[in-house]
Amino acid sequence: MKQPARRVTAAMVAEHAGVSTATVSLVANGKSSGRVSKKNEERVLEAIRELGYYVDSIGSSLAKGVSSLVILVAPDISNPFFAKVITGVRSVLGNDYQLLLSVTDAGLSPSAAETRRLLGLRPAGLLVHAPTQEFLDDLAGPLPLVALDAPRIDESIPAVNMDVAQGAEDVVAHFAKLGHTKAAYLDASTGTDTLTVRREAFLAAAQRYGIEVLPSSIDSCMIDVKVASELFEQRWDSWRADGVTALGCATDNHAFGVLHAARKLGLDIPSQLAVAGFDDLPYSATSSPGITSVRLNATEMGRQAALKLREILDGRSPQELQSTLPSSLMVRGSTQPEGAR
């Protein structure tokens, strides 16, 4: 249905149907019940179809003072895990809101300056992945917002988190049960709280379970398979000298790097070193060995965050401002030989 270059306006539809633009607006927005007769509604709908009209969100947003956009702000979408979050969000938002992604610089916390410009779009709401408190403060102004994966933000801000503490505890308990007494931790150097929380939870749990983690056994690098691989290659000699037999990784991407380096070094996983990660990426189950990992239900996180946002947009205040999703440990070959389970 090719259209002429000139865009179709409500006024054109109105003329075509022999009604006012007010009526067109009412019909186009589905607010016609009790305001528009069946007959006129038909004619307008007909005209809309015939001319190929669709509501101009710009004009509409200006008049309403708000758009139907929900913007998901994310610092890093390279993680496959993120696609699941989106699936979850989309399943809830449906056609009522349009979901748009704003990607800020990879690996960092979202940038407030950049995000503030998006506010000019008058989004109906914001979904923010892994924001820092600072980011949220900078944003200022009371606009509907739900944070995802933001374990350390103000309690007054709606958020959906993962139970990382439980996940870390599970990993450590698993290590303990396998008899490990000295561990290392491969961290990620991003400014996000998500990863800080993982590390701290790991260390705290290790202490409780009597597993020693020497400060020198904590090292961090970018979330990148290759970089993690190189770092581990450098560190392994010293860690081994310290008697390290288990390694916690901030992300499965790190664990992949370690697996790769181990192969190069002729180091056997898990007999010489047990490795566990976080995220349970699709690739983690199928690598060799499979990576023992804390599974986080990303789809559900997206779903619940969107649900919470809708509650806010509908004027209901969510009964639970912040919620935490359970995690579960997927035990695989990187900590325990296949068949030994």
Partner DNA sequence: GCATATTAGTTAAGCGCTTGACGAATCTGC
Partner DNA sequence: GCAGATTCGTCAAGCGCTTAACTAATATGC
Residues lying near DNA in the complex (CB under 7 A) are found at 7, 9-11, 19-26, 28-29, 31, 34-41, 53, 55-56, 58-60, 62-65
Q: Least distance to a copy of itself from the beta carbon of 220, Å?
A: 19
**98 in contact with a copy of itself (CB under 8 A):** yes
Helix axes 38-51, 10-17, angle to 10 degrees: 120
Helix axes 38-51, 21-28, angle to 10 degrees: 80
Q: Least distance to DNA from the beta carbon of 141, Å?
A: 13
Element (DSSP H or E) covering residue 165: helix 164-177
CA 247, chain centre distance (Å) = 25
**11 in contact with a copy of itself (CB under 8 A):** no
**120 in contact with a copy of itself (CB under 8 A):** yes
Q: Which does 99 bind (CB under 5 to 8 A by kind): a copy of itself, DNA, none?
A: a copy of itself
Q: Which does 100 bind (CB under 5 to 8 A by kind): DNA, a copy of itself, none?
A: a copy of itself
**106 in contact with a copy of itself (CB under 8 A):** yes
Structure tokens given for 184: 């290392």
Distance (Å, whole) CA 185 – CA 277: 10
Distance (Å, whole) CA 263 – CA 90: 40
Structure tokens given for 106: 């990879």
Q: Which does 325 bind (CB under 5 to 8 A by kind): a copy of itself, DNA, none?
A: none
Q: Which does 80 bind (CB under 5 to 8 A by kind): a copy of itself, DNA, none?
A: a copy of itself
Distance (Å, whole) CA 166 – CA 268: 28
Distance (Å, whole) CA 266 – CA 299: 37
Nearer to a copy of itself, 57 or 323 (CB): 57
Q: Tokens 């989106």 identify what position?
A: 86
Cis peptide before 270 (omega within 30 of 0): yes
What character string, x for contact with a copy of itself (CB under 8 A) and - otherwise, covers 218-257? ------xxx--x-----------------------x--xx
What character string, x for contact with a copy of itself (CB under 8 A) and - otherwise, covers 148-167? --------------------
Q: Which does 22 bind (CB under 5 to 8 A by kind): a copy of itself, DNA, none?
A: DNA
Nearer to a copy of itself, 174 or 260 (CB): 260
Number of amino acids touching a copy of itself (CB under 8 A): 62
**Candidate segments 16-24, 86-94, 191-199, 230-238, binder of a copy of itself by CB under 8 A:** 86-94
Nearer to a copy of itself, 151 or 289 (CB): 289
Q: Which does 195 bind (CB under 5 to 8 A by kind): a copy of itself, DNA, none?
A: none
Q: Which does 87 bind (CB under 5 to 8 A by kind): DNA, a copy of itself, none?
A: a copy of itself
Q: Which does 37 bind (CB under 5 to 8 A by kind): a copy of itself, DNA, none?
A: DNA
**DSSP character for 8?**
P
Element (DSSP H or E) covering residue 293: strand 292-296
205-232 per-residue burial string, b: 16 or more CB within 10 A, e: under 16: bbeebebebeeebbbbbbbbbebbbebb
Distance (Å, whole) CA 33 – CA 14: 18
Rg, Å, the chain Cα set: 26
CB-count exposure of residue 72 (10 Å: 0-12, 13-18, 19+): buried
Identify the residue among 9, 21, 45, 77 touching a copy of itself (CB under 8 A).
Answer: 77
Q: Can you state the percent helix, strand and coil of the chain, rounding each to 5? A: 45, 20, 40
List residues near a copy of itself by CB under 8 A.
1-3, 5, 52, 54-62, 67, 69, 71, 76-80, 82-84, 86-87, 90, 98-103, 106, 116-122, 138, 140-142, 224-226, 229, 253, 256-257, 259-260, 263, 282-283, 285-288
